[in-house]
Structure 1
Amino acid sequence: MRWKGLIAGLVMVGGMVPVMGAQESASGPMLLVLAKHDEMLSLVDPGTLKVVAKVPTGGNPHEVIASADGRTAWVTNYGNGSLHSIRVIDLMGRRVEKVIELGPIWGPHGLAFADGKVWFTAEREKLIGRIDPATEGVDWLMGTGQTGTHMLWVAKDASEIVTVNVGSGTMNLFTRNPVGTLQKAGGPPSKAGATTMHGDDPAPVPDWEQRIVKVGGLPEGFDVIPDAEGHAQTVWVANAKEGTVSVIDFATGQVTATIEAGVPTANRLKFTPDHRMALISREKSGELTFVDVASRKVLKRVMIGTGAAGVLVAPDGKRAYVSCSPDNDVVVVDLASMQVVGKIEAGMEPDGLAWAGR
């Protein structure tokens, strides 16, 4: 297969890059903050809002994700499509453990951790990839066929994937087909969703059903409301061009509503853990908008800076963290009062955020 040779050719570059700052062992959960200009990952104590360590990330880092146990992080080196590597960071030792060179896969951006694997988008190549942490190499790729595949969501069991495609103004809804009758590679094509074996490898490789949903202009920030088992039910995506939010029913692949949220230049959209409220950041205005999910009405608008990007809600739902890239800080928002209660100085041009540990 075309991808098989490509994946086999991806190079892993080893080496330990020393941490800058404190070297004490990790204790408790950490907030991870990427600073694009500084090319650094800051480890922040969420209790004190202080940076306890910094790790260099390489060129133009945009997104970061942590493993379920909080011991490892992965950072995409994006470069607006001009770079092609992912950093593996040891959060316990606070150092770069590996650099995964993606070769011809340019523009890695969005990240997710699900089913024990790391999933990423490659914007320039219009595809989704997967990294096996055990080998620290890419073991799977799938094309989206859409322009600007930017952010993604993956179900806990990796049976569903959602991506937003900024340039095409679309969402991809992927559902993994159940394992069917095995066919040897080189046999009849799997036009009806059959499962294929690679040569003598007994592991079946199921294919995927893809649905493309047209939304508004320049969609970027989105989030998913799952069911009790972690499967997608509803998708909300913010359309930066019109300032609206498209609501998508995952089961039917249809836009069921368009919310006039008044969020032009929207950058990120995130639900609270109870899915009762959505937070939307605006890149050009620095406004954070709170939307009630049940009524789909705007609850409040808060000016938090001159430009807002990454949004992360703490697992306990009490606080949100918003990167204000032009202001070089991360704003801390109390979700009960919907007010700013603190700021974190974590480097110049903060953007991607993640939570490490429980």
Structure 2
Amino acid sequence: MKLSAYASLVIVSCLASGAFAQSRLLVAEKGAQSLAIIDPGSGKVLASVPEGGITGHEVIASADGKLAFVPVYGNSGVGSPGTDGTNIAVIDIASRKVTGNIAFDHGIRPHCPMIGPKDKLLYVTTELDQTITIIDPKTLKIIGTLPTGQPQSHMLALSHDGRRAYTANVGPGTVSVIDIAARKVLKVIPVSGNTQRISISPDDKWVFTADQTKPQMAVIDTTTNTVAKWIPMEGIGYGSAPTPDGRWLLVALPDQNKVAVIDLKTMQVARTVAVGNYPQEIIVRPDGKSAYISCEKADSVDEIDATTWKVTRTIQTGKYADGLAWAGQ
């Protein structure tokens, strides 16, 4: 069917005005107390939205891709003295403005936010209370908590079936396994003297966390809730993310300025990719074609082609790029 000049103009106008949803890459600019909103197509930083003067380390987008939730942790590292964050900034991605706030009644150091894969609720680690707080992202109201049974429950992974939560408990060096429906701890798994970050395989069979005392990844069998395997690496690991097809696990190696690519069939490092200074967090695009790695000391995010394993682009951001999230399809 041939379109009239008017109809063609309307379609072009709608596309240009953003009437159709566009994906965005979100980056917590830890050193600038702001959130970068990036067009992943052009690699352009569209805006750096101030969070209110205190540092947010992590970010997640709502299920519909319209809002970004940035827990305001404070100005310290985990387990160290400093300010204790009391809120979560809510940012409208389209208007690039803070439009809401989720306040706690005391210092709680909220940190890692996740969206429930089934219920679409917002889950956030609330470290000083040894809990995960559950929030309705539509009303911005707190509707419950999950216990972790451990201090320093810093990072969180949710199973894709919506049944389990797993926290990396830094100082204790453990992982808590939590039944979401029953709201109780099923098991605390000893891992090492200190552990950081956590991720889960797409089939929910494996949970991964990085040993901070030795250059190795712990692989937890979610059936037995025990450490089933150790994967040696050339440096201490940090953030990790699996590819959507479950074939690869990408792990940041901050002191090596590399990303390790682990073959999940063999549970061995297949290759490493050189990236910018001090890589922190990794996300893989929903289509699995590219991965993004925040490089804290380079103030940038590197984009890696997940077929060639080459860095295809470096996106300059604000100071101390850290937490990453994807908004849209």
TM-score by length of 2: 0.87
2:4 corresponds in structure 1 to: none
> Per the alignment, in what secondary structure is the counterpart of residue 83 of structure 1?
coil
Question: Residue 207 of structure 1: CA displacement?
Answer: 4.0
Question: Residue 254 of structure 1: CA displacement?
Answer: 1.3
Shift in CA distance, 52/167, structure 1 to aligned 2, threshold 3 Å:
same
1:222 matched to 2:198: yes
1:1-358 matches, within 5 Å, as 25=18, 27-58=21-52, 59-79=54-74, 80=76, 82-114=84-116, 115-156=119-160, 158-176=162-180, 206-227=182-203, 232-264=204-236, 266-358=237-329
Distance (whole Å) between structure 2 residues aligned to residue 207 and residue 333 of structure 1: 38
Shift in CA distance, 306/156, structure 1 to aligned 2, threshold 3 Å:
closer
Would you say the 8 A contact 2:276–2:300 is kept in 1? no
Question: Residue 222 of structure 1: CA displacement?
Answer: 2.0
Would you say the 8 A contact 1:263–1:280 is kept in 2? no
Would you say the 8 A contact 1:78–1:107 is kept in 2? yes
Distance (whole Å) between structure 1 residues aligned to residue 328 and residue 108 of structure 2: 30
Distance (whole Å) between structure 1 residues aligned to residue 270 and residue 113 of structure 2: 29
> Per the alignment, in what secondary structure is the counterpart of residue 61 of structure 1?
coil
Tell me which moved more, 64-73 or 102-111: 102-111
Alpha-carbon deviations, 1:195-220, whole Å to 9, x = none? xxxxxxxxxxx443421111123211
Shift in CA distance, 308/207, structure 1 to aligned 2, threshold 3 Å:
closer
Structure 2 unaligned residues grouped into runs of 5+ = 1-16, 77-82
TM-score by length of 1: 0.80
Distance (whole Å) between structure 2 residues aligned to residue 166 and residue 316 of structure 1: 31
Distance (whole Å) between structure 1 residues aligned to residue 313 and residue 191 of structure 2: 35
Distance (whole Å) between structure 2 residues aligned to residue 131 and residue 137 of structure 1: 6
Question: Residue 89 of structure 1: CA displacement?
Answer: 1.1
Would you say the 8 A contact 1:37–1:348 is kept in 2? yes
Distance (whole Å) between structure 2 residues aligned to residue 151 and residue 335 of structure 1: 25
Would you say the 8 A contact 1:273–1:317 is kept in 2? yes
> Per the alignment, in what secondary structure is the counterpart of residue 288 of structure 1?
strand
Distance (whole Å) between structure 2 residues aligned to residue 146 and residue 284 of structure 1: 28
Percent identity reads 33
Distance (whole Å) between structure 2 residues aligned to residue 284 and residue 261 of structure 1: 12
Question: Residue 108 of structure 1: CA displacement?
Answer: 0.7
Question: Residue 159 of structure 1: CA displacement?
Answer: 2.1
Question: Residue 156 of structure 1: CA displacement?
Answer: 4.5
Would you say the 8 A contact 2:299–2:316 is kept in 1? yes
Distance (whole Å) between structure 2 residues aligned to residue 158 and residue 106 of structure 1: 25
> Per the alignment, in what secondary structure is the counterpart of residue 297 of structure 2?
helix
Distance (whole Å) between structure 1 residues aligned to residue 318 and residue 197 of structure 2: 23
Would you say the 8 A contact 1:329–1:350 is kept in 2? yes
Alpha-carbon deviations, 1:2-61, whole Å to 9, x = none? xxxxxxxxxxxxxxxxxxxxxx64741111111011111111111111112222112111
- The alignment covers a number of residue pairs equal to 303
Would you say the 8 A contact 1:85–1:99 is kept in 2? yes
Would you say the 8 A contact 1:270–1:279 is kept in 2? yes
> Per the alignment, in what secondary structure is the counterpart of residue 279 of structure 2?
coil
2:9 corresponds in structure 1 to: none
**Misfit runs of 4+, over 6 Å:** none
2:10 corresponds in structure 1 to: none
Would you say the 8 A contact 2:26–2:327 is kept in 1? yes
Structure 1 unaligned residues grouped into runs of 5+ = 1-23, 178-205
Question: Residue 296 of structure 1: CA displacement?
Answer: 1.3
Alpha-carbon deviations, 1:58-92, whole Å to 9, x = none? 21110000111101110011113621210111112
Distance (whole Å) between structure 1 residues aligned to residue 139 and residue 161 of structure 2: 20
Counterpart amino acid of residue 240 in structure 2: L
Shift in CA distance, 207/125, structure 1 to aligned 2, threshold 3 Å:
closer
Distance (whole Å) between structure 1 residues aligned to residue 58 and residue 302 of structure 2: 18
